Amino acid sequence: MSRSFDKEYWNYAKLISGILRHGMPLPYVIELVQNLTLDDDSINTWKNGVVRGIKRYIPDGTKADGSTCPECGSNESLVYQDGCLTCNSCGYSKCS
């Protein structure tokens, strides 16, 4: 089946599968996927789809450590809610 897919996408999918099977916390998986780079710009669409899919499995209320709300500047109130980053202080929300 791997012959049916673009080699670069297939290798990234195997990498993501491996780190998920070994228990890497989902926020770190998302960060890793967002930082993947290829020569082909079309990977951005693929990356965004993978990130959106993984975010759906982060339990609601999980804090987004190291993130600051772009609206109110709070660095402790961003949490994941329904796969989106939501600020408990001002109500800001972003889904990617």
The tens digit of pLDDT for each residue in 18-66 reads 999 999 999 899 888 888 876 665 656 788 888 888 988 999 999 988 8
**Res 79: pLDDT:** 94
Residues 6+ apart with CB under 8 A from 33: 12, 16, 47, 50, 51, 54
Question: Which position has the higher pLDDT, 5 or 28?
Answer: 28
Q: What is the pLDDT of residues 72-82, one digit of tens each?
A: 999 889 999 98
**Res 74: pLDDT:** 92
**Res 65: pLDDT:** 86
CA trace torsion 39, 48, 26, 86 (10° rounding)? 140
Q: What distances in angstroms separate CA 35 from CA 12, 38, 62, one per listed residue?
A: 12, 10, 21
Backbone angles phi, psi at 33, to 5 degrees: -65, -40
Which neighbouring-strand residues pair with 94? 85
